[in-house]
Amino acid sequence: MTHAIETDLGPLNWVKGEIDAALGRAREALEQAGTASDPAARIQFAQTHLHQVRGALSIIGLDGMTQFAETAGLLLGDMVRGEVATDASTIGLALRALAALG
């Protein structure tokens, strides 16, 4: 016998607007990073907003999404420090991660 596990999405509905807004700001910053004179600053801005998303997901108990957001944040941190190239490919990967979180 199997039982379906139902998730209470009420808390997510409360913070979804803030999550979407933070993801939008992060996306804009990443898009600007491709042409910015200081791409690391724009990526760090995106990382800050992604950290807000991760925190909101953690508070409402979406552990898998929280881990995904944390890993995406680590990628952005590596880009800021120059450990991962800041090129169209990695910016595209980061943008896809943000889209998946949305």
Q: Alpha-carbon torsion 91, 96, 100, 102, what sign?
A: positive
In 3-87, which residue ranges form alpha helices assigned H by DSSP? 10-33, 39-59, 63-80
pTM of the model: 0.85
Summarised one tens digit per residue, pLDDT across range 31-88 is 999 899 999 999 999 999 999 999 999 998 899 999 999 999 999 999 999 999 999 9
Q: Alpha-carbon torsion 18, 61, 6, 10, what sign?
A: negative
